[in-house]
Structure 1
Amino acid sequence: MEHRIKDLRAAFGLTQEQLSEQIGVSRQTIISIESGRYNPSLELAYKISKVFGCKIEDVFIFEKGSE
C-alpha cells in the first residue's frame, strides 16, 4: 500500500520517534510502515491520519483490485 507518511512527517517537522510516541507504537513500526514492509491496521492508520489532521484516504493510497 502506498502512503504519504514520510512526506507528511517532514512537512510537520516530526521525526519517526516523535510520530511513534504520538500514536503509541515503536519507532521500528514507523520504519516498517514507511519502508513498505508493514501495512498498518485500520486503527493505526486512523491514528496516523489524526496526527496530520487528514482523512485516512489522504494519507494512504489504496490500490483498486482487478475487476
Structure 2
Amino acid sequence: MTEYRFVESLPDLIDPTDYAGHPDGGLVRLRVSATADGVRVSGDALRPAVLEGLLAELGGGPVQQMLCG
C-alpha cells in the first residue's frame, strides 16, 4: 500500500499556460533525478488521480503530496 506524506510545497511542472492545450486534462509531466538516496520521481498532472496511479505502480517509497485549494 502506498504511503502518502503531505508537504507544504512541491515543484510545479505544469503552469497555467498548459491548460488550454490539454482540454481533456490528460497532461502528465515527470522529472526523474538521481540523488544520494537513489532515484526520485517528481510529477505533476492536470488530473491527480492519473499521476497517483502511475506513482503507485512504480512503488519504491512514500509519495509526497500537496493539498491544494
What interval of TM-score do these two structures reach, taking the shorter chain for normalisation?
Answer: under 0.3
Bigger Rg, structure 1 or 2:
2
Q: Which has the higher contact order (CA 8 A, sep 6+)?
A: 2
Query: If each structure's strand is expressed as a fraction of its own residues, which one has the higher value?
Result: 2
Considering fraction of residues, name the structure with more helix. 1
